Amino acid sequence: MDLAYIPSPSTGVIHLGPIPLRGYAFCIILGVFVAVWLGNKRWIARGGTAGTVADIAVWAVPFGLVGGRLYHVITDYQLYFSEGENWVDAFKIWEGGLGIWGAIAFGAVGAWIGCRRRGIPLPAYADAIAPGIALAQAIGRWGNWFNQELYGKPTDLPWALKITESANREAGLYHPTFLYESLWCVGVALLVIWADRRFTLGHGRAFALYVAAYCAGRGWIEYMRVDEAHHILGLRLNVWTAIIVFVLAVVYMVVSARVRPGREEVVEPRSRKTVETGKTDDDAEDATEAGTGKAASGATDASDDAAHPDDAADSHDVENGAGNGAGSAAKG
């Protein structure tokens, strides 16, 4: 008799009337919102303007979803294109299957497009959003719990995950690798936030730290999984991917720190005017309007003088007379 274990939901879909609410999709959406929220706070703290992170996320998120699905379908093609399988299932993203490697790679392309349109350096944006991405992954992994997928080897530990039987899985108690990765990603987010404050990371090094730290955890968690995967030299494909990406991230941090030490002083062109002049865009508009008003007033006075030259001459005589009188009084 098992005294303690983590139960799995009986279904991954909750029906709100005729509308199906899928747990996997809900976790992905919630993760995106958390990433944008935290990224926005960090971007503003670095001197950027509010709303920029969300505007660029409009490009990054769709690219990331497409890239994540492509990586999964390509690396697990046998699930969709082998004999007896239906290739249409490759488009059923709500049933699970997003490769983080493809999501980050394609998401970076989308972020680059968004940053380029706004004249923002991609490394600075990546640094701001890095902890949020880790938290998004932590939340997104609970979507695997709803779908009863990506669990590890059998275990009798008190936190074992109970899996129910279906056509593609065998009932039993397994390592909750989804939970391990979720907790690891929370730790990665906290690590990046701490290191960024402690060492003032810039030029993409905070993002590289996130990538390296995530890969370090993904390596041992991937080794525990028992779902079908391709192997190269005895190791799962994703383990090799984690090793290669980890090395690249560490090399980038070292080289970047030597070539471009410190952090970007200005991360967004619009904020440069605010920093240099101490005025916001609204202040600049008010100043422009005030200048325009003065110019218009001057033009009006000049036109009145031109229209009534005699009156203008009289007013000048009065002013000169008053000035001479005041001068004589001062001398006396």
Distance CA 252, CA 246 (A): 10
The answer to whether the CB of 111 falls within 8 A of the CB of 55 is no
234: exposed, middle or buried (Cβ count in 10 Å: 0-12, 13-18, 19+): exposed
pLDDT for 5 equals 87
pLDDT for 98 equals 84
pLDDT for 209 equals 98
pLDDT for 2 equals 55
Q: What angle do CA 211, 216, 222 make, to 5 degrees?
A: 110
pLDDT tens, per residue, the chain with 332 residues: 455 789 988 777 877 777 788 888 899 999 999 999 999 999 999 999 999 999 999 999 999 999 999 988 888 888 788 887 888 888 877 777 788 899 999 999 999 999 999 999 999 999 999 999 999 999 999 999 998 888 999 999 999 999 998 877 889 999 999 999 999 999 999 999 999 999 999 999 999 999 999 999 999 998 888 887 888 888 888 999 999 999 999 999 999 999 999 999 888 986 554 444 444 444 444 444 444 444 444 444 544 554 444 444 444 443 444 444 434 433 44
Distance CA 136, CA 49 (A): 22
pLDDT for 310 equals 47
Distance CA 17, CA 324 (A): 91
Helix (H) or strand (E) holding 60: helix 52-75
Distance CA 136, CA 32 (A): 6
Across 109-195, the runs of DSSP E, i.e. the strands, are: 161-163, 172-174
pLDDT for 87 equals 83
pLDDT for 92 equals 79
Residue 21 forms beta bridges with which residues?
Answer: 14
